Structure 1
Amino acid sequence: MSTAIATPARPREAAPAVLAPISWRWPVVYGVLTLLSLVVFTLLLEPGQHTTFQLSRATDLLAIPNFALPATATNWVLSLVLVALTGYVAKAAVDRRPVPAWAHVVLGVAFVLAFLTWVGAGRSTVIPVTTLLQGALALSVPLVFGAMSGILCERSGIVNIAIEGQLLGGAFLAAVVGSLTSSAYLGLVAAPVAGALVGVLLAFFAVRYWVDQIIVGVVLNVLVVGLTSFLFSTVLTDNAQVFNARQSLPRLPIPGLSEIPVLGPVLFNQTLLVYLMYAGVIVLQVFLFRSRWGLRVRAVGEHPKAADTVGIKVNPTRVRNTLLGGAVAGLGGAFFTVGSGLAFGKEMSAGQGYIALAAMILGKWNPYGAVAAALLFGFTTNLGTVLSTIGAPVPSEFLLMLPYIVTIFAVAGLVGKVRAPAAENIPYIK
């Protein structure tokens, strides 16, 4: 009688872990900026030159005197900071760790300071830091509202290319209503109505008739441009004092906070429109990612069929978000007229709606990220204006191209692989 000898089972060998490929995108970006700062902004400087910075203005309660820094020594320090950051980011890439947000902030601040030091070296003019920041925030206002509009729409599955038309419509109606009522605040209230009306057309064709949302958005932009240009040439120009008189929102300084040096005049001495922007960004961030409403909106934009099976009304949600997004963009359009104290002009939005879309993509459909991108674009636009005023040694043509160059490189090179909401531009047919 034979007996079977049981052999112990061999332990199953663990499969080797598959490591993600190393991404050298950020180390390359950091390295290029570091090399530019070291070679152009530092080594090419003449020794003994100084750069004068201005942090306060004559109207500030707490005045900080202008101060001069040795240009070469300052840029050597800043370049060494950039070298250290590049090494840190390269180590993070090798370890397959994400680059923290603070590294991007420090990189941007150090590089911009090195550039400004190089620009002002040996010149009698001063670098107005507070003016630079104030202008950057002001020019970012329509971009932030436009980006929030895009987030509201695209998170629910509707591509809103019509932000440009909504901004322009909001600027037009704010100017007309503000002029007729002699009240900038009533103009501010009317601006979201114009944006929402454009949103109605977008929702009608995209949700009801399943027309391609990108095509509808482009057509709506052309429609608003044509309509406002016609009314401007016929009605507003002939009766400018009645229909297109300048109305300006007053500044509302916050006691105490507005007196903080540098940041006080920039952040806390603003109009109601800017304070609404602050509140809107925070509310949207919280509601979109920390509320039941936000969960439903994101579900509709990612998997509408699954959302429908649990009782979420897909198309009504998309319609509501499109109208809300249009109203938000229209509110941002009020910046061009009552927000800046200007009369309405033809095509005065000047492509800001498309830049807002780029800010939304660069911010990865996140309100906080979109705000950071909008501030970047606003700063580069204002930087070109300020440098032209002080006579910087940079060709004026390059200064005019600067914000668009930054937009292209930011979206094409810095975003990397991002994923839009899966169901955008796909009509839901039950």
Structure 2
Amino acid sequence: MIDLVLAWLTVLPSFTLPLLLASLGLMISERAGVLNLCPEGLMAVGAMTGALLVLAGYDPMLAVLGGVLAGTALSLVFGVAAVVFRADHTLAGLATVALGLGITGVVGRSSMQKPFDGLARLSDTAWGAGLPRLLGQQNVLLPVTLLLLLLVWIWLFRSHSGLRLRAVGEDPAAADVVGIDIQLTQLGAVLASGALAGLAGAYLSVASAHVWVEGMIAGRGWVAVAIVIFAGWRPGGVLLGAALFGGAEAAMLRLQTLGLDFPIYLGAMLPYVLTLVVFCIACIRRSGDNGAPSALGRTYLRQDKH
């Protein structure tokens, strides 16, 4: 039993960190009032770009940075549509997802199912050789992700610029009155969400799977949307939600490797069933205080200023 738990804890970060990164970026965007449904497409572009760069001979860390840039570039398309041209956030987000999946289907088709050497485990590095097995099996993106989580929390709730961003998400008219640039703030938040979603996608291909396969995101972007709702748009809740959803998926994998008489497809459904449950709960408590920014998804026009 102890071996089973240790094996589950060893693979847990591989399932949790991509969800944590994507959800963290999504939370930043929505804290600024921009309803963001893009993570699925952003993660796909980040995963494909990272894999293509490694296959082209670049260092895996540079490939991860390429995935971050790819996610940021695609999020700029969404940001221009939703923030600059004030398109409906839902429609712009769905169109961006379709664009991202379409790009990966065309550009990445020739590189599918080609394994490569991705990021090394910490135990394979000179400075991580003495780490316990549980930590040594991870890669450098584990401490990077946890550091990002801490920095986002400090910035969002303990800095002047974080306060300004939250003010835009709560009451853009009042924020405009005190001189905050609404469009610039929201566009910056959208780009941050794209960078983190691109990092999440690159993690899947470069740090975890070490291969690019079309459709490898497998709905994780939509799970990230549910996690942010579950978390009440707070970093601590995002960490808990990512661990819950990722842990459920990791547990199903471990049960399958044990050869238990357990329906494989039923187990694979569990994270998505949890997603639907979260959406249902969000709908039920919509009339109450669910933690969502007051101006989330609303298009702000300057004449709306008080």
TM-score scaled by length of structure 2: 0.90
Deviations for 1:356-403, whole angstroms, at most 9, x for unmatched residues? 111111011011101111111111111112112213343334222222
Match of 2:175 among 304, 307, 327: 307
Pair 1:429 & 2:301 matched: yes
Pair 1:290 & 2:158 matched: yes
Which structure 2 residues correspond to residues 231-270 of structure 1 after superposition, within 5 A?
231-233=107-109, 235-236=110-111, 246-253=116-123, 258-259=131-132, 265-267=133-135, 269-270=137-138
Amino acid of the residue matched to residue 120 of structure 2?
A: P
Amino acid of the residue matched to residue 68 of structure 2?
A: P
The separation in 2 between residues aligned to 1:356 and 1:167, in whole angstroms, is 11
Pair 1:195 & 2:68 matched: no
User: 2:33–2:186: 8 Å Cα contact kept in structure 1?
Assistant: yes
3-state SS of 2:56 partner: helix
User: 2:10–2:137: 8 Å Cα contact kept in structure 1?
Assistant: no
Pair 1:153 & 2:29 matched: yes
Of the two, which has the highest radius of gyration?
A: 1
The separation in 1 between residues aligned to 2:139 and 2:28, in whole angstroms, is 24
Which structure 2 residues correspond to residues 136-175 of structure 1 after superposition, within 5 A?
136-175=12-51
Pair 1:330 & 2:205 matched: no
User: 1:249–1:341: 8 Å Cα contact kept in structure 2?
Assistant: no
Amino acid of the residue matched to residue 294 of structure 2?
A: A
Deviations for 1:229-256, whole angstroms, at most 9, x for unmatched residues? 11233x436xx8xxx5513101124759
Match of 1:364 among 225, 232, 235: 232
The separation in 2 between residues aligned to 1:376 and 1:267, in whole angstroms, is 20
Pair 1:54 & 2:2 matched: yes
Percent of aligned pairs with the same amino acid: 29
Pair 1:272 & 2:151 matched: no
Who is 1:133 aligned against? 9
TM-score scaled by length of structure 1: 0.65
3-state SS of 2:81 partner: helix
Match of 1:405 among 273, 282, 294: 273
- Unaligned 5+ runs, structure 1: 1-52, 56-127, 260-264
Amino acid of the residue matched to residue 426 of structure 1?
A: R
User: 1:247–1:341: 8 Å Cα contact kept in structure 2?
Assistant: no
Pair 1:374 & 2:242 matched: yes
The separation in 1 between residues aligned to 2:264 and 2:196, in whole angstroms, is 34
Provide the aligned C-alpha RMSD in A.
2.1
- Shift of residue 133 of structure 1? 1.5
Which structure 2 residues correspond to residues 179-194 of structure 1 after superposition, within 5 A?
179-194=55-70
User: 2:227–2:242: 8 Å Cα contact kept in structure 1?
Assistant: yes
- Shift of residue 411 of structure 1? 4.4
- Shift of residue 412 of structure 1? 3.0
User: 2:122–2:128: 8 Å Cα contact kept in structure 1?
Assistant: no
Change (3 A) 1:194 1:250: same
Deviations for 1:115-173, whole angstroms, at most 9, x for unmatched residues? xxxxxxxxxxxxx1111112222101110011011111000111110111110010011
- Shift of residue 183 of structure 1? 1.4
- Unaligned 5+ runs, structure 2: none
The separation in 2 between residues aligned to 1:328 and 1:220, in whole angstroms, is 16
Amino acid of the residue matched to residue 299 of structure 2?
A: P
Structure holding more helix per residue:
2
User: 2:120–2:139: 8 Å Cα contact kept in structure 1?
Assistant: yes
3-state SS of 1:297 partner: helix
Change (3 A) 1:301 1:267: farther
The separation in 2 between residues aligned to 1:321 and 1:358, in whole angstroms, is 19
Deviations for 1:173-213, whole angstroms, at most 9, x for unmatched residues? 11111221341111011111111011110110011211111
Give the aligned length. 295
The separation in 2 between residues aligned to 1:204 and 1:413, in whole angstroms, is 32
Who is 1:178 aligned against? 54
